[in-house]
Amino acid sequence: MIIKPIYEILPSLYLAAGSSSVIWVDSTLGVAGGVLLFCLGSLIWVMRSNFRRLDQATHAGKRFNIPESLYEFMPFLFIGLALSLASTQQSIAAYAIAALCLYRGCSLLYMRHRYRRHVWQKVPSSVKTSN
């Protein structure tokens, strides 16, 4: 059994190790391992978030609906695109697009964290979840 602080940070460690491997390792096998670590970290992150989620997923106010699986992985797709652009392209425009993609991916993760209620977050008494 892994202690809770290490268990909670594992997806972030997988994402960081995969990202750094994609950016700094030159071999094909190292990049493939980094991509695999990044994908596993994002998968574990999404699975934990969905399992701990207390609020209901509602899509009534949206103009168009995308599949739930694509929606959940959207921040990681932006971050992965930013990493691939930063590691393969050498132009200022590519770095600018990579910075924008990284910003969008991180802001989506922050908004998801902020607007979802999880088991480990305190739920105010005025906000009740419906079952």
pLDDT attached to residue 81: 93
Low-confidence spans in the chain with pLDDT less than 70: 55-64, 117-131
* Secondary structure in 3-state letters for the chain: CCCHHHHHHHHHHHHHHHHHHHHHCCCHHHHHHHHHHHHHHHHHHHHHHHHHECCCCCCCCCCCCCCHHHHHHHHHHHHHHHHHHHHHCCCHHHHHHHHHHHHHHHHHHHHHHHHCCECCCCCCCCCCCCC
> What's the confidence (pLDDT) of residue 131?
46
Residue 34 CA, chain-centre distance (Å), reads: 15
pLDDT score of 58: 60
